[in-house]
Structure 1
């Protein structure tokens, strides 16, 4: 099969052996897979992040339930925002059938333990023609929902979880810093919950427009209007939750500097570099900072159902498609927010 392969923090397109499903697993062909910002960060900053992880785990007790991650010197195929069609059943499968279209949590399990699909040397992600998934983690896509829309289940689930983790409630207001895919997912979930006003700040006019389409009440270019100033004009009274969805050094400090007393800051941007803050900013204003990662199975299923039920229209989110051969260029293209928000990898089969 053709796949976009990461090795030693470099990306190339190559031929790999077709994967084989084991007991309780299915072989699928990839119909669509979104390129996630965390994969862009992994390629650029993964080496630094990996060093920190190794340091933290050096003295930790072995965890038999810990997720096995990839070794960077071996082949890794990223891509965890996928929709696939089942083409072959492994031994013992009874819930799924050949031809079923599914999405799945990006985790696999076997006799060796848990593996992060897309960040594993054993279980490749969706920047490839074929994938092996566990039958138990697969969720059938409702009839009539296009694969391209179903592939947005995973990124929307990130927003669903982040908003839930923030403990935002009716009567609260929100600022979202960054209108990339993660920030847009937060906006979508906030709007589905009826939260408002929602203020979104991003340098890109294209992404500000996308945020408005998904339900933001006010969008600002922070070079012209600080997000907190826009919030004060439209509200300035309700309890405030600030969602940091950029994921680069300095953003947590920036959120702390703008936050009013007793505000909550939800960090969902995946920064893989060392960062610094001034604790007295948080102490003096009694700020609460919460970090969020991924989602749980119920949130994942809820995201798929929300898309299928038409509770939110995510079609403006999709700004391009490429085949497997185009993945390296798509990684470069996503650096320009004026042209792209979400690019889907749609493999072509011969």
Structure 2
């Protein structure tokens, strides 16, 4: 019987590569051979916390090829390249029945790995069996490396779409990690008049410049002065907060003009203190964004295919499954120079 190797968190800052018997997919299921699985901050949090994220979420940025399908599967076939996705709006959950299909409860649960049919581990594995709803056929023109970053591209596509950024807007992107750099590219693609990137890391500022952004600053007076100069002292039309640093939430809001938009992508792990009166008196619109819809994956892949978004420069390393524990320790230490690392579970196999 064929076996499957996969990585799981077993304790705080402890990851083990385990082995299981590889079963065949059941009705409505798909068996995927994983090509790449990206490592993100959520995975690092799962590692440092000892698994305080759903098991299926530890390794959620995956792409691969369909090995076989179970009975009744008709959206993908053997040999198809696919990406991790969520299903279309189900039409029967409370949110769908209330007319809020863009916030389908079923798709949201799928995105967060908490459905009844969620796998016992994520894509840090040689193979993965998931519901047919959890895969989407890849665009043929995309490389495997591009497909490995479709999931975070969909996260940021979703956020910019939800924000409703106006054409010609002066946009600030706070944080130039992978999420910030993807958000900046979507904002540019959506017609921003100016995109200002602020980031303390010199290496990440260089990465932003390499993607064609010219308004790139470290935090401080020069950055603030430039935002005021571009906006006639009003403040940014839109600020995308991509760091998740709790202490930055109120200072971020203060960079937004009266009536402007504060869009939240970074996920803080502790509470934040803000000035409710400031937000109210300046009539700020605050947009929260988490996960994505099925359609966001289609839009993300199209943005990659036409070159509006470039993910290849973000990839700073490719490792094997056995090298994952050491990488997570490095990322958790906070001193890494990596942007996005792809795990290739079947490398050499």
**Shared topology, TM-score over 0.5?**
yes
Query: 2:289 — aligned with what?
Result: 292
Determine which of 61, 71, 77 is the counterpart of 1:91: 71
CA distance in 2 between counterparts of 1:173 and 1:145 reads: 31
Check if 1:283 corresponds to 2:270. Answer: no
SS at match of 1:12: strand
SS at match of 2:65: strand
Assess, with a 3 A threshold, how the Cα gap between structure 1 residues 332 and 276 changes in structure 2: closer, same or farther: same
CA distance in 2 between counterparts of 1:266 and 1:132 reads: 35
Whether the 8 Å CA contact 1:197–1:235 is kept in 2: the answer is no
Check if 1:102 corresponds to 2:78. Answer: no
Check if 1:208 corresponds to 2:205. Answer: yes
Query: 1:159 — aligned with what?
Result: 156
- The CA deviation at 1:239 is 5.7
Assess, with a 3 A threshold, how the Cα gap between structure 1 residues 163 and 228 changes in structure 2: closer, same or farther: farther
Unaligned runs of at least 5 residues, structure 1: 51-68
Query: 1:339 — aligned with what?
Result: 337
Map 1:74-153; keep pairs closer than 5 Å.
78-105=58-85, 116=110, 119=113, 122-153=119-150
Map 1:1-350; keep pairs closer than 5 Å.
1-17=4-20, 18=22, 20-44=24-48, 70=54, 78-105=58-85, 116=110, 119=113, 122-222=119-219, 224-225=220-221, 227-236=223-232, 240-334=237-331, 336=334, 339-347=337-345, 348=347, 350=349
SS at match of 1:262: strand
Query: 1:54 — aligned with what?
Result: none
| CA RMSD between the two structures | 2.7
Assess, with a 3 A threshold, how the Cα gap between structure 1 residues 77 and 138 changes in structure 2: closer, same or farther: closer
Deviations 1:3-58 (A, max 9, x none): 221134443122231354221111111101111122223434588xx6xxxxxxxx
Unaligned runs of at least 5 residues, structure 2: 91-105
CA distance in 2 between counterparts of 1:99 and 1:77 reads: 25
- TM-score w.r.t. the length of structure 2 is 0.83
CA distance in 2 between counterparts of 1:12 and 1:167 reads: 40
- The CA deviation at 1:245 is 0.5
SS at match of 1:4: strand
CA distance in 2 between counterparts of 1:86 and 1:173 reads: 43
SS at match of 1:16: strand
Whether the 8 Å CA contact 1:34–1:81 is kept in 2: the answer is yes
SS at match of 2:324: helix
Whether the 8 Å CA contact 1:172–1:238 is kept in 2: the answer is no
- TM-score w.r.t. the length of structure 1 is 0.82
Moved over 6 A (4+): none
- The CA deviation at 1:338 is 6.2
Deviations 1:202-229 (A, max 9, x none): 111111122223343411111x445432
- The CA deviation at 1:118 is 7.7
SS at match of 1:233: helix
Whether the 8 Å CA contact 2:13–2:49 is kept in 1: the answer is no
Report how many residues are paired: 322
Assess, with a 3 A threshold, how the Cα gap between structure 1 residues 106 and 80 changes in structure 2: closer, same or farther: farther
CA distance in 1 between counterparts of 2:186 and 2:180 reads: 10
Whether the 8 Å CA contact 1:247–1:271 is kept in 2: the answer is yes
